[in-house]
Each structure stands twice: as structure tokens, then as C-alpha cells.
């Protein structure tokens, strides 16, 4: 039975091989460009790198190097163990001095060593070719670099011979001079040591510095004592303030505030008054009040009791005054002591700061004295060594490592360098080819070019295992750029809604959003986020979580989807229109909800206003098909696709297998679920 769908325009090429590659594998090869072009790029880069590297290797100047090691020592002729280092910094500078190399130049001329060198070097040229540096202990390393290896060998030999003969001829004079210089230096250091010790002692005495330990000095010790005393005074002041506050509170409550020494006298008076009251109370039970007033004894007792009560009252008032005065005086004394200690502590801190400065200066002077003593010991040890070996001192210059004739120049071209260059060029060509493939894929993705899906003509394709291959329309791979910038217009190799739906490019979806009204923009944004028409029609404001940027689908297949940035921005603008969470998002002015036909009409109007090609083919199913294709091309597992887009019939799901890349499928958490427009 023939396929009823119209065939694409252009020639149709039928498969020559009974088992051709699957379409997705052809798509991968085609996306990397023509094979011949990639091979040409690889070979061109490889040849360019090898040519440039070889040219650099051949043209760069070569340079030979040679070196020798000398031992310069001074010691006794009779005792080999008495040798000491016989050179100084001045000797190193003398090794590369102009005076020495003028002699070396004449020596080379006499030997005819300059005849084979063209152009013949001068003294300045020789100085530029050589260098000398310490090699550890009493050894010195001589270097020579140039473009003639044989001449470097002659130069180092002449350099050594001239220096050795000159040094040994002046060695005895030099040793005597060195000894006299050491004696003078020892005298100077001894004088400086005495002056430094006197300065240190005077400084210590004037600034009361006991030792280098800070805690042992009087100024810092007094500072520590004052700090401790101030803390104690503050505690006493707080205690006195507490007693004053307690006394005031007692008086306000009517409780007498009496000191301990006054309380004892008051207690004696109160005891006597209590005894008299008891006696009078006992007599009052036996006699009448008239009798007690007339009786001299009882009247005397009553008068005594009255006097005691008055005395208790007066004594209590006097004791309270004395107690308050005592507490107030103690508080004033504590405050005065605290203020006095704070003043003294401030003064002592100033003294301590000055002392710290002086103490640091004292430490610096001590370190200077230690350095002078160290230098003095070294000079005395050197003098002692010279005195021990006073008889027969001489300077020795020995050749520890003789100069050699360099066989290979630095920078000379060898075949191993060419092999290394070829390896580097191979790696660089491979990396550039990979970069080219990556940029080519990025360019095709950014221009919305379609993934190559091959359409069969006639009978539907069968399985890969030994069945005829689908017919391939090569016109899809030969579309001009202006057609690729519009819609992909892909046809899937199976019947069904997905095969009939038109896939839109990113530019077309963006054009739909820009040309749509408020309701149309909302519908396009929800469709490209994975919702179906029925789910959009029944969507309520309570299903939208604008803070989290997600939508909860409660109709049909329940799921939570992430909203695109553009849709989220639009909903934030219009969320104030919602009167309740149960209100539908899409409603007419009269309050009636949108129907499926209304939603299709919104899409048709937006496609027409956007000026899309074949606008009458743009349906809500086209946008849904575009979003599903976007997910499948990323390799999402088809079994997990309903968790993003809702139910998809198996017959229709089968049509998307040709879009899925080879290999293991990815979970929904491993792919980008936001359509790449924003």
C-alpha cells in the first residue's frame, strides 16, 4: 500500500546497499561536514606546522658551549691539610677583567688560534663569550659560549694558563698583604666591640633596663601591679555602691539601717524596756491603774520605761545617721582610690610605652654587638690559621675539570627534533580539527538548521536487521540558507499525528510570541513548556507557583513543570488580575472559559500576524510537536517523556525514535527542559 503523504520536491535516491546506515547515524556524519574537507584541513595544518618548525630549526643560529673547573687555594708547602680558600669576590671579578683578557688575546694570537676564526674576535668579543661563577668551596667554574667549538676549547685553555701563571707569581705578596689586612681588620673590630659594649651599658643604665626579658624590668612590673590594684579598687567601689543602695532601700521601706556596733547598744536598751513592760504587765493584773499611778514604785517603773523608749528612738536615729555617713565615706574613699589608681596607671602606661621603645633599641644594640663579636671571632680564627702556617705560604691554582671540545651545538638541527616536531604537529592538527567540528556544530545549532531526518517514499521503513532501507530524499541536506532560517519542515518516517504536525524553528516560535496578544503569548508559552490544550484550558491561577517558577498540572497526568523565563515574566505582569485561586487563567471578558477552538484560533492569528510561511499549517499540535522533538533530540528516555509532556500514545511515541541520538537514553534530570529562546 502506498503512502498517501505528498513526497518532497527534488530527486529521490534509493539505497544501493541492502543494509544502509540508520538515519541518525547519517545525521551524525553529515553534521561534521564533508570528509574530504576535514582531511584537507588536517593535512594543511599538519604541513604548515611542520614547515614552519623545520624552517625555524634550519635558520636559527647554533651555539657551542664548554666549561672548566678550577680550584684556587692557599696553604703550606709542607702540609697539604692546611689549604684554605684562596679567592674572594675581587678574584672572581679579576677572572673576567679586561686586563687579564688582553693577555689571553695576545696568547691566542701567538698560538695562531685566531687564524681559523672568521671574523677574528677582539678583546670585547672574548669578554662577551665568557663568564665565571663559584662552584662550591674553593672551586670556580669557567664558561665559554660561541659558534666555533674548537676555538672555545683553545680559549678556555689560554684563559686558565694566563690566570694560573699570574696568580702563582703574585701569590706570596698577596698572602702577606692578606695577613696585614686581617690584622688591621681585627684591630678595628676590637675597637668597635669595646665602643659598642660601653654604649650598650650606658643605654641600659640610663633607661633602667635590667635584662632582655621584659617581665624582669621595673617599669613593666609596676604597670602589672597597678593594673591589679585598679581591679581591686573597682571591686571595692562596686561593693560600697551596693551598700549605699541597700541602706537607701531599707530607709524607704521603714527598716532601720544601723551599724553593728550601734546595734549592740540598741539591743541592750530594747531588752531593758521589754523587761519593764513585762513587769508592769504583771502588776497590772494584780492592781488597778489608779493604784499603780499612786504607788511610787510602779510610777517610777513607768517613768523609766518612757525614758527608755525615748532613748531607743533617739539612739536609732543617731545610729542611722552614723551608718549612712559611714557608707557614704567608704564609697567616696573607694572612688577616690579608683581615680587615683587610674591616673597612676595612665602615667605608668606612658612610661611603659617609652620603655618598650628603649627596650627594642636595647635589643637592637645587643644584636649589633653579637654580630660584631661573630665577625671578630672569624677574623681571629683566620689570623690563627695564618700564624700556624706562617712558613711557606703559597697560592695554588689547579685544573679540576679540564675544558672539552663540544661535539654538538645547542639549536643544531637533528632528525630527532624533526620527529618531535611531527608529533607536535599531529597533536595540534587533531585539536584544530576537533575545534573546527565543534564550531561547525555550534554554527548549525545557532542558525536553527534542522537535524537531518530522512523521509521514506512508498513503503514504511522496516527493522535494521536485513530489511530494505528507507528511500532517502537528499533535497533536505541541500536546502538553501534562507529556507533553513525558516522552519525545519521535517517529516517523520511513520504515520500519525507527529508525522503530520509541522515542526517550528526557534525563530518561528519567537516570532509567534512577539506577534501574539496577551492570551496568545500565554498559550504559546504554556505549549512550549509541555502542556496540552486541555490542560491549558482547565489551568487555574492556583496551579501556578510564580515564586518558584513552576506550574502544577492537575488535570489528567499530574506533574510539575518548570516555566520558561519569558512566560514567568509575563505571568508576573498579569497575576494581579486573578480574583481567586480557582479562577481559570484563560477566560473571555464575559467570564466564559476558552474552548479548544478558541485556542487554535489564537495560534492561527499569531502565525498569520507573524508572517510565517504556510501559516495555515501552524497549529497548537505543531508547538507541542516542536517541544517534544527538542527533548528527544537531547536523548531523553522516551519512557520518561510523559512526565514532561503528558500522555503520548505508543503509536505516536514510535515516530520519535528516529530523532533520538544513538546510545543510552538520559533521564529528565539530565536534559534541558527549557526551550532555548530566552
Whole-number pLDDT of residue 181:
80
120-170 residue pLDDT tens: 888 888 888 889 888 877 788 898 888 777 888 888 888 888 888 877 666
Q: Identify each DSSP E strand in 52-209 by its residue range.
A: 64-76, 84-85, 130-134, 139-146
Rounded mean pLDDT, 375-383: 81
Q: Between these two residues, 75 and 398, which has the higher pLDDT value? A: 398
Cα–Cα distance for residue pair 285/287, rounded to 1 Å? 6
Nearest-angstrom CA–CA distance, 127 and 93: 12
pLDDT of residue 649 exceeding 80: yes
DSSP 489-506: ----SS-SHHHHSPPPPH
**How far is residue 153's CA from residue 108's CA, in Å, rounded to a whole number?**
11
Rounded to an integer, the average pLDDT of 390-394 is 49
Sequence-distant (≥ 6) Cβ neighbours of residue 407 within 8 angstroms: 149
Alpha carbon distance 389, 387 (integer Å): 5
Phi/psi zone of residue 162: left (φ > 0), alpha (ψ -120 to 50 degrees), beta?
Answer: alpha
Q: Give residue 544's region: left, alpha or beta (phi > 0; psi -120 to 50).
A: beta
- Residue 388 is predicted with a pLDDT of 53
pLDDT at 176: 62
**Contact (CB, 8 A) for 390 and 79:** no
Whether the per-residue pLDDT at 377 is higher than 90: the answer is no
Residue 124 near residue 118 (C-beta atoms within 8 A): no
Confidence at residue 217, expressed as pLDDT on a 0 to 100 scale: 62
Q: Which of 16-25, 225-234, 235-244, 518-527 has the lowest mean pLDDT?
A: 16-25
Q: Contact, 536 vs 621, CB < 8 A?
A: no
Share of the chain above pLDDT 90, in %: 7
> Per-residue confidence at 284, pLDDT binned at 50, 70, 90?
confident
Lowest mean pLDDT among 178-182, 204-208, 426-430, 470-474: 470-474
pLDDT at 459 over 50: no
The confidence score (pLDDT) of residue 604 equals 93
- Rounded to the nearest integer, the mean pLDDT of the chain is 75
Task: Write phi, then psi, for 501 (nearest 5 degrees).
Answer: -70, 145
Q: Is 139 helix (H, G, I), strand (E, B) or coil?
A: strand
With bands split at pLDDT 50, 70 and 90, how would you rate the model's confidence at 305?
confident
- Residue 471, pLDDT score: 37
User: Is residue 329 pLDDT above 50, yes or no?
Assistant: yes
* pLDDT band at residue 338 using 50, 70 and 90 as cut-offs: confident
What value does the mean pLDDT take over residues 414-434? Answer: 83
86-114 per-position pLDDT tens digit: 566 667 777 888 888 888 888 888 888 88
Q: Measured between alpha carbons, how far is 633 from 663 in angstroms, rounded to an integer? A: 12
pTM of structure: 0.33
Q: Give mean pLDDT, residues 167-185.
A: 67
**In 170-259, which ranges are continuous DSSP H helix?**
171-206, 218-252
pLDDT in tens, 17-54: 333 333 333 333 344 445 567 788 888 888 888 888 88
pLDDT (tens digit per residue) in 609-618: 999 988 999 9
Q: Which of 230-244, 338-352, 407-421, 548-562 has the lowest mean pLDDT?
A: 407-421
Q: What is the structure's pLDDT at 441?
A: 64
Question: What are the CA-CA distances from residue 611 to residues 437, 486, 504, 507 (Å)?
Answer: 34, 11, 13, 12
Q: Given CA atoms 102, 107, 110, 114 in this order, what sign does their dihedral have? A: negative
Task: State the DSSP string of 533-570.
Answer: HHHHHT-BGGGEETTTTEEEE-SSS-EEEEPPHHHHHH
pLDDT per residue over 498-516, tens digit each? 446 788 998 999 999 899 8
Q: Give the highest mean pLDDT range of 15-24, 109-118, 265-274, 536-545.
A: 536-545
The predicted structure's pLDDT at residue 600: 92
Q: So what's the pLDDT on residue 500?
A: 60
**pLDDT score, position 386:** 65
Cell, residue 571: 505571568
In the structure, what pLDDT confidence band is assigned to residue 573 with cuts at 50, 70 and 90? confident
pLDDT level of residue 9 (50, 70, 90 thresholds): very low
What residues contact 41, with CB distance under 8 A and at least 6 apart?
432, 433, 436
Identify the burial level of 234 via C-beta atoms within 10 angstroms of its C-beta, where 0-12 means exposed, 13-18 middle and 19 or more buried.
middle
Low-confidence winner among 83-92, 176-185, 449-458 (lowest mean pLDDT): 449-458
The pLDDT score that the predictor gives to residue 106 is 87
In SS3 terms, 321-370 reads as HHHHHHHHHHHHHHHHHHHHHHHHHHHHHHHHHHHHHHHHHHHHHHHHHH
Cell for 192?
Answer: 668597635
Sign of CA dihedral 243, 249, 250, 252: positive
Mean pLDDT of 519-523: 89
Check if the beta carbon of residue 507 is closer than 8 Å to that of residue 448: yes
Nearest to 66, CA basis, from 460, 458, 401: 401
Assess contact for 41 and 436: CB atoms under 8 A.
yes
More confident residue, 395 or 67: 67
pLDDT at 434 over 70: yes
Quick one: angle between helices 296-388 and 171-206, nearest 10? 170
Residues 6+ apart with CB under 8 A from 295: 287
pLDDT (mean) for 192-218: 73
492, 655 in Cβ contact below 8 A?
Answer: yes
Amino acid at each position: 500500500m502506498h503512502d498517501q503523504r505528498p513526497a518532497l520536491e527534488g530527486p529521490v535516491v534509493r539505497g544501493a546497499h541492502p543494509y544502509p546506515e540508520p538515519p541518525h547515524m547519517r545525521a551524525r556524519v553529515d553534521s561534521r561536514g564533508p570528509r574530504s574537507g576535514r582531511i584537507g584541513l588536517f593535512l594543511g595544518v599538519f604541513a604548515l606546522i611542520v614547515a614552519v618548525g623545520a624552517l625555524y630549526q634550519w635558520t636559527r643560529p647554533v651555539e657551542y658551549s664548554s666549561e672548566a673547573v678550577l680550584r684556587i687555594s692557599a696553604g703550606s708547602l709542607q702540609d697539604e691539610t692546611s689549604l684554605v680558600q684562596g679567592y674572594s669576590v675581587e678574584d672572581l671579578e679579576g677572572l673576567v677583567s679586561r686586563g687579564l683578557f688582553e693577555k689571553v688575546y695576545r696568547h691566542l694570537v701567538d698560538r695562531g688560534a685566531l687564524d681559523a676564526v672568521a671574523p677574528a674576535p677582539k678583546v670585547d668579543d672574548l669578554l662577551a663569550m665568557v663568564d665565571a661563577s663559584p662552584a662550591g668551596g674553593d672551586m670556580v667554574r669557567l664558561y665559554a659560549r660561541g659558534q666555533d667549538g674548537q676555538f672555545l676549547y683553545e680559549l678556555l685553555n689560554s684563559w686558565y694558563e694566563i690566570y694560573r701563571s699570574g696568580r702563582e707569581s703574585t701569590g706570596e705578596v698577596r698572602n702577606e698583604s692578606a695577613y696585614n689586612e686581617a690584622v688591621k681588620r681585627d684591630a678595628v673590630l676590637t675597637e668597635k666591640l669595646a665602643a659598642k659594649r660601653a654604649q650598650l651599658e650606658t643605654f641600659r643604665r640610663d633607661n633602667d633596663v635590667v635584662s632582655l626579658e621584659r617581665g624582669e624590668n621595673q617599669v613593666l612590673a609596676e604597670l602589672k601591679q597597678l593594673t591589679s590594684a585598679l581591679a581591686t579598687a573597682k571591686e571595692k567601689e562596686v561593693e560600697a555602691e551596693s551598700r549605699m543602695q541597700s541602706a537607701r532601700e531599707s530607709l524607704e521601706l521603714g527598716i532601720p539601717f544601723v551599724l553593728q556596733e550601734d546595734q549592740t547598744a540598741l539591743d541592750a536598751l530594747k531588752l531593758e524596756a521589754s523587761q519593764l513592760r513585762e513587769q508592769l504587765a504583771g502588776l497590772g493584773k494584780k492592781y488597778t491603774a489608779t493604784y499603780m499611778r499612786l504607788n511610787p514604785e510602779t510610777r517610777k517603773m513607768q517613768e523609766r520605761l518612757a525614758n527608755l523608749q525615748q532613748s531607743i528612738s533617739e539612739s536609732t536615729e543617731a545610729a542611722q545617721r552614723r551608718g549612712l555617713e559611714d557608707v557614704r565615706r567608704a564609697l567616696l574613699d573607694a572612688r577616690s582610690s579608683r581615680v587615683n589608681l587610674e591616673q597612676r596607671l595612665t602615667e605608668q602606661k606612658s612610661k611603659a610605652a617609652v620603655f618598650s621603645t628603649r627596650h627594642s633599641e636595647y635589643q637592637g644594640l645587643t644584636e649589633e654587638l653579637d654580630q660584631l663579636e661573630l665577625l671578630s671571632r672569624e677574623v681571629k680564627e683566620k689570623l690563627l690559621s695564618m700564624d700556624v702556617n706562617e712558613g711557606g705560604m703559597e697560592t695554588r691554582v689547579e685544573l679540576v675539570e679540564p675544558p672539552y671540545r663540544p661535539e654538538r651545538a645547542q639549536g643544531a638541527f637533528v632528525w630527532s627534533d624533526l620527529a618531535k616536531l611531527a608529533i607536535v604537529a599531529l597533536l595540534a592538527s587533531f585539536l584544530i580539527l576537533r575545534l573546527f567540528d565543534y564550531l561547525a556544530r555550534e554554527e548549525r545549532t545557532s542558525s536553527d538548521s534542522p537535524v537531518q531526518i530522512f523521509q521514506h517514499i512508498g513503503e514504511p521503513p522496516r527493522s535494521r536487521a536485513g530489511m530494505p532501507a528507507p528511500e532517502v530524499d537528499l533535497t533536505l541536506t541541500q536546502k538553501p540558507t534562507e529556507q533553513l532560517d525558516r522552519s525545519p519542515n521535517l517529516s517523520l518516517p511513520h504515520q500519525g499525528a507527529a508525522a503530520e504536525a509541522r515542526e517550528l524553528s526557534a525563530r518561528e516560535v519567537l516570532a509567534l510570541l512577539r506577534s501574539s496578544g496577551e492570551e496568545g503569548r500565554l498559550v504559546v508559552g504554556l505549549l512550549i513548556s509541555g502542556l496540552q490544550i486541555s490542560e491549558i484550558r482547565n489551568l487555574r491561577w492556583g496551579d501556578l507557583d510564580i515564586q518558584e517558577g513552576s506550574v502544577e498540572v492537575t488535570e489528567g497526568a499530574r506533574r510539575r513543570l518548570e516555566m520558561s523565563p519569558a512566560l514567568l515574566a509575563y505571568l508576573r505582569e498579569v497575576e494581579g488580575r486573578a480574583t481567586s485561586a480557582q479562577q481559570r487563567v484563560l477566560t473571555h471578558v464575559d467570564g466564559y472559559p476558552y474552548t479548544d477552538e478558541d485556542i487554535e484560533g489564537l495560534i492561527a492569528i499569531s502565525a498569520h500576524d507573524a508572517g510565517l510561511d504556510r501559516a495555515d499549517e501552524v497549529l497548537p499540535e505543531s508547538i507541542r510537536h516542536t517541544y517534544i522533538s527538542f527533548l528527544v533530540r537531547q536523548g531523553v528516555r522516551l519512557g520518561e517523556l510523559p512526565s514532561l509532556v503528558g500522555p503520548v500514545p505508543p503509536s505516536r511515541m514510535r515516530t520519535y525514535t528516529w530523532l533520538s541520538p544513538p546510545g543510552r537514553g538520559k533521564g529528565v534530570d539530565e536534559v534541558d527542559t527549557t526551550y532555548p529562546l530566552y
